[in-house]
Amino acid sequence: MINDLKNEIESVKDLFFKEVRKVKSVDKFKIVKEQFISRKKGFLTNILKGLKDFPKEDKPLAGKLVNKLKIQVEEELEKLEKSLINKKEDSIDYSLPEFDSPLGRNHLLSYVKNEVEEIFIGMGYDIADGPEIETEYYNFTALNFLEHHPARDEQDTFFIKNFENRVLRTHTSPVQVRYMENNTPPIKVIAPGRVFRKDEVDATHSPVFHQVEGLLVAKDINFSHLKGTLSFFLKSFFGKSVDVRFRPSFFPFTEPSAEVDVSCFLCNGTDSHCKICKGTGWIEILGSGMVHPEVLKNGNIDPEEFSGFAFGMGIERITMLKYGIHDLRMFYENDIRFLNQFG
């Protein structure tokens, strides 16, 4: 019987050391520990339980042999546990540089929008916004567009199906009327935002693009205030050396109206094949004018008491000009090689 026990002890010992050599992780360690010394069904526990069947005179020796194995196994497991813990700590190398997780950045269009905002905030303007889904009233009627004005046409404007008189705003100008309705002069705001037109996508057109609207209404505002404000803005944005020129134009919601150009900052009019100004020496930037009396009235402002000016410009357009981008589609493709160059 003692010999059977000795054999059993030897084979459990062999098995134990074979298993121990395979342990590479804490999880595996736990499994081996369980297998050999768990109280319920560990190999060693089983052998110990078997001792009670031994004849009295063999019991001391049998007990000694099993105990010896138990101590060996426990010591080995303790050693193994320590080395696993040490290994875990060793695997962290504190001298390595930190992970370089790439930081996001503003899209160039957001960057330029912020640039424009900063300049106007510097002149005391507030920032306003309005809904992208507009009523025909705010997008057209309140802005003095006649009933059959071509801009109202289905060909130019996205009408919302099954939602009468709703359109995707075609410009930021409806914010003018909404703002006047809710505020009293003096009013000084810009309103950047998305606008929508039924245009085919090409290098200079997109059905979704961005504008910044400007509106100033107070007592005794005249065209020279408009000129001074826009000249200051354009020189701040494009550089002090650009010249600014105002050309007569037409918008239903301003009278008089003016288109505003800057002198070509690429060739200054010296290159007849210039990519930007096509040799004219001037680049068209924005639309502007004195707020039409009808529009003031629609905003509940008395045109006898107050006057004002308004302007609107395309953010994509001024960004392309300032940063030399030749294809508007680049803004929306989100090619990381493009985005990483700016902002």
Binding footprint of ligand PHE on the chain (CB under 6 A): 171, 173, 251, 254, 287-289, 310-312
Question: What strands, in cross-sheet order, belong to the sheet with 126-127?
Answer: 126-127, 187-196, 208-218, 307-314, 282-291, 254-263, 244-251
Lookup result for tokens 């509106």:
215
Minimum CB–partner distance for residue 173 and ligand PHE (Å): 4
Among residues 151 and 274, whose Cβ is nearest to ligand PHE?
151
Nearer to ligand PHE, 73 or 315 (CB): 315
Nearer to ligand PHE, 44 or 175 (CB): 175
Please give the Cα distance from 40 to 46 (Å, whole number): 8
Contact 328, 203 (CB under 8 A): yes
Nearest to ligand PHE of 173, 298 (CB atom): 173
Residue with Cβ nearer ligand PHE (74 or 132): 132
How far apart CA 295 and CA 252 sit, in angstroms, is 9
Residue 215 CB, nearest approach to ligand PHE (Å): 8
Question: Least distance (Å) from ligand PHE to the CB of residue 288?
Answer: 5
CA distance linking residue 190 with residue 234, whole number of Å: 15
DSSP state for residue 281 in the 8-state scheme: S
Residue 257 CB, nearest distance to ligand PHE (Å)? 6
Q: Least distance (Å) from ligand PHE to the CB of residue 258? A: 8
Nearer to ligand PHE, 43 or 251 (CB): 251
Classify 126 as helix, strand or coil: strand
Q: Is 13 helix (H, G, I), strand (E, B) or coil?
A: helix
Cβ atoms within 10 Å of 237's Cβ, excluding its own? 19
Q: Minimum CB separation from ligand PHE for residue 284, in Å? A: 11
With a CB cutoff of 8 Å and minimum separation 6, the contacts of 257 are: 248, 249, 250, 251, 287, 288, 289
Distance CA 48, CA 62 (A): 9
Q: Which is nearer to ligand PHE, 140 or 311 (CB)?
A: 311
Cβ 231 to ligand PHE shortest distance, Å: 16
Radius of gyration over every alpha carbon of the chain, rounded to an integer in angstroms: 40
Alpha-carbon dihedral sign for residues 259, 260, 262, 263: positive
As measured in angstroms, the least distance from the Cβ of 309 to ligand PHE is: 8
The distance of closest approach from Cβ of residue 157 to ligand PHE in the complex, given in angstroms and rounded to an integer, is 12
Alpha-carbon separation of residue 264 from 241, 271, 315, 317 (angstroms): 10, 10, 18, 14
The residue whose Cβ lies closest to ligand PHE is 312
**Cβ-based nearer residue to ligand PHE, 206 or 288:** 288
Residue number with CB closer to ligand PHE (81 or 255): 255
DSSP H helices, the chain, are: 2-22, 26-37, 43-50, 59-90, 108-122, 136-139, 174-182, 223-238, 293-298, 315-323, 330-333, 336-339
